[in-house]
């Protein structure tokens, strides 16, 4: 086939099957333990005198309970995991850990690290995150993770209106961005966040006032366009895209030490990694608007918890970091309420199985009338980590296949597809392509609980159109929201 014909078609890709957790034959550790306990109790009840008389019925009931917990499914989770999550959430509710009202404080690099402010940036486990500003850029230091994160606002021209050759070039360019992130091993995560927030149309009106033609023969069209913009004001949405780059202190230890150690050296290591990645962004059709300052980063946090705050805050000035956190809120089993807004977090359990084009996420990015945040987490793996993971997965598949053959079970197409995926990963690694992990999360925001449920249903429909399997997160809404809706460099992929 001529090369020109191939280039005129959109590049397609088939996502690998998500690895199925399990030790033997797809069984998790908890399922194996519960099954072994059930067999142990059954043997004691039938062949020993450990459960005499009426106690034998109790033992049989315990066996049935263990089997049900091991193999039943509740809200897309194994029964024992769902029960453990429920118990944990109830315990946190009893201790008052599901309600919060904490401000945000900002540290300063002008102070010695020993006395710089630890900040309650967001409620939950991320309270230890420290926010520092150096050279007009806000840096998030995670003392427990040993990482530093800075956020870059990026923008891009329309994608679907481009010709297939340009779209394919952008897809290849994004691949080069990910390849640059894996080059040194210091970048531990790339978080691409795209969100829609309310907009009163002021910026659009100012843009049209500046750029519309004033020629007499065009006045009729100009007036009609201004009228159209006036009708749209108050119901428009603004789309923002951010790229959070996280650098690991241990992986960049030599450079941190050479640059003076402590936070200054870690920031210098981040700047070096960003310089490498930023050179690749134009090839992907992305333009870096600039790194966010502490006030701008605080504004992203503020408008994530309360999107209506975007209507009262100037984008260029941001907000004071001390008031960026939520005023108050509470975490429920399946949603989060903060400052009058309701949030629900979903995750992409399965990516499309068939070959899809690069615009596969378009229905999720532009759902009608839904305020949402789409987060894509990319984790670059080193060659050694990739080889170890592939070898372990290959051994697990071979062992499970041997055991199924011994038990007389027939292998399914899913089993063969999983083996093909592992062989593909191995061949790509031998060709020199490092692996990159991918996790997708969607945060839905609404002004009332009824609207939230309706918007979640709309997102499910949009995900079905995009051939995605999305599932709601239960029992961990606060932790999931912190990771998915805020570009704070919280590691999602282990």
- Concatenating the DSSP letter of every residue in 267-330 gives HHHHHHHHHHHHTTGGGGT-EEEEE--HHHHHHHHHHHH-GGGGGTS-TTT---GGG-S-SSEE
Termini Cα distance of the chain: 43
Q: Give me the residue label for tokens 């590049």.
A: 11
Please tell me the distance from the alpha carbon of residue 151 to that of residue 289, in angstroms, as a whole number.
11
Q: What percent of the chain is modeled with pLDDT above 90?
A: 28
3-state helix, strand, coil in the chain (%, to 5): 45, 20, 35
Per residue in 303-314, pLDDT (tens digit) is 899 888 766 665
Does a structural domain hold residue 464?
Answer: yes
Tokens at residue 180, please? Answer: 């640059």
The structure's pTM equals 0.83
Residue among 221, 268, 223 at smallest CA distance from 247: 268
Please tell me the distance from the alpha carbon of residue 191 to that of residue 79, in angstroms, as a whole number.
32
pLDDT for residue 168 is more than 80: yes
DSSP H/E element including 237: strand 236-248
Please tell me the distance from the alpha carbon of residue 134 to that of residue 110, in angstroms, as a whole number.
9
Tokens at residue 270, please? Answer: 């981040």
Domain of residue 327, residue span: 72-382+434-485
Please tell me the distance from the alpha carbon of residue 51 to that of residue 62, in angstroms, as a whole number.
12
Does a structural domain hold residue 161?
Answer: yes
Does a structural domain hold residue 237?
Answer: yes
Does a structural domain hold residue 221?
Answer: yes
Q: Return the ∠ at Cα 248 (arms to 246 and 251), rounded to 5°.
A: 140
- Using pLDDT thresholds of 50, 70 and 90, give the confidence band for residue 5: very low
pLDDT for residue 471 is more than 90: yes
Between 33 and 256, whose confidence is greater? 33
| Residue 12 DSSP class | E
Tokens at residue 309, please? Answer: 């705050």
Q: Give me the residue label for tokens 């390849």.
A: 179
Does a structural domain hold residue 121?
Answer: yes
Does a structural domain hold residue 494?
Answer: no
Does a structural domain hold residue 32?
Answer: no
Q: Return the ∠ at Cα 182 (arms to 180 and 187), rounded to 5°.
A: 100
Does a structural domain hold residue 414?
Answer: no
Please tell me the distance from the alpha carbon of residue 425 to that of residue 405, in angstroms, as a whole number.
25
Q: Give me the residue label for tokens 């049900």.
A: 68
The whole-chain average pLDDT of the chain stands at 81
* pLDDT for position 236: 66
Quote the number of domains for the chain: 1
Residue among 470, 241, 456, 242 at smallest CA distance from 343: 456
Overall average pLDDT of the 185-209 stretch: 80
* pLDDT for position 119: 42
Please tell me the distance from the alpha carbon of residue 249 to that of residue 146, in angstroms, as a whole number.
6
């Amino acid at each position: 086939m001529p090369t020109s014909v191939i280039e005129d078609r959109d590049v397609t890709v088939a996502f690998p099957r998500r690895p199925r957790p399990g030790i033997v034959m797809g069984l998790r550790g908890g399922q194996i333990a519960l099954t072994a306990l059930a067999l142990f109790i059954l043997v004691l009840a039938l062949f020993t005198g450990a459960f005499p008389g009426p106690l034998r019925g109790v033992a049989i009931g315990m066996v049935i309970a263990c089997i049900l917990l091991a193999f039943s499914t509740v809200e897309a989770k194994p029964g024992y995991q769902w029960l453990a999550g429920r118990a944990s959430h109830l315990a946190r509710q009893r201790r008052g850990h599901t309600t919060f009202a904490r401000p945000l404080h900002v540290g300063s690099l002008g102070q010695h690290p020993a006395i710089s402010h630890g900040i309650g940036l967001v409620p939950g486990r991320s309270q230890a995150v420290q926010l520092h500003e150096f050279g007009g850029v806000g840096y998030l230091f995670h003392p427990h993770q040993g990482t530093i994160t800075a956020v870059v606002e990026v923008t891009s021209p329309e994608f679907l209106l481009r010709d297939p050759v340009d779209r394919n070039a952008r897809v290849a360019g994004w691949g080069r961005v990910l390849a640059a992130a894996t080059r040194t091993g210091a970048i531990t995560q790339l978080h691409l966040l795209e969100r829609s927030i309310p907009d009163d149309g002021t910026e659009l009106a100012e843009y049209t006032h500046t750029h519309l033609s004033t020629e007499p023969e065009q006045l009729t069209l100009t007036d009609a366009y201004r009228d159209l913009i006036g009708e749209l004001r108050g119901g428009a949405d603004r789309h923002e895209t951010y790229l959070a780059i996280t650098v690991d202190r241990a992986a960049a230890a030599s450079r941190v030490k050479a640059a003076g150690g402590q936070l200054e050296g870690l920031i210098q290591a981040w700047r070096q990694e960003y310089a490498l990645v930023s050179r690749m962004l134009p090839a992907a059709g992305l333009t870096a608007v600039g790194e966010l300052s502490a006030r701008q980063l605080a504004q992203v946090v503020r408008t994530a918890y309360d999107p209506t705050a975007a209507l009262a805050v100037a984008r260029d000035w941001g907000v004071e970091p001390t008031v960026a956190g939520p005023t108050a809120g509470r975490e429920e089993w399946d949603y989060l309420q903060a400052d009058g807004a309701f949030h629900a977090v979903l995750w992409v359990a399965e990516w499309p199985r068939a070959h899809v084009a690069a615009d596969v996420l378009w229905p999720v990015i532009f759902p009608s009338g839904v305020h949402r945040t789409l987060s894509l987490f990319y984790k670059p793996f080193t060659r050694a980590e990739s080889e170890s993971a592939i070898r372990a997965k290959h051994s697990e598949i071979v062992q499970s296949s041997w055991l199924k053959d011994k038990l007389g079970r027939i292998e399914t197409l899913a089993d063969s597809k999983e083996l093909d995926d592992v062989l593909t990963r191995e061949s790509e690694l031998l060709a020199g392509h490092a692996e990159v992990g991918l996790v997708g999360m969607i945060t839905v925001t609404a002004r009332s609980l009824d609207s939230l449920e309706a918007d979640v249903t709309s997102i499910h429909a949009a995900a079905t159109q995009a051939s995605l399997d999305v599932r709601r997160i239960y029992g961990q809404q606060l932790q999931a929201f912190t990771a998915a809706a805020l570009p704070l460099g919280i590691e999602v992929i282990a």
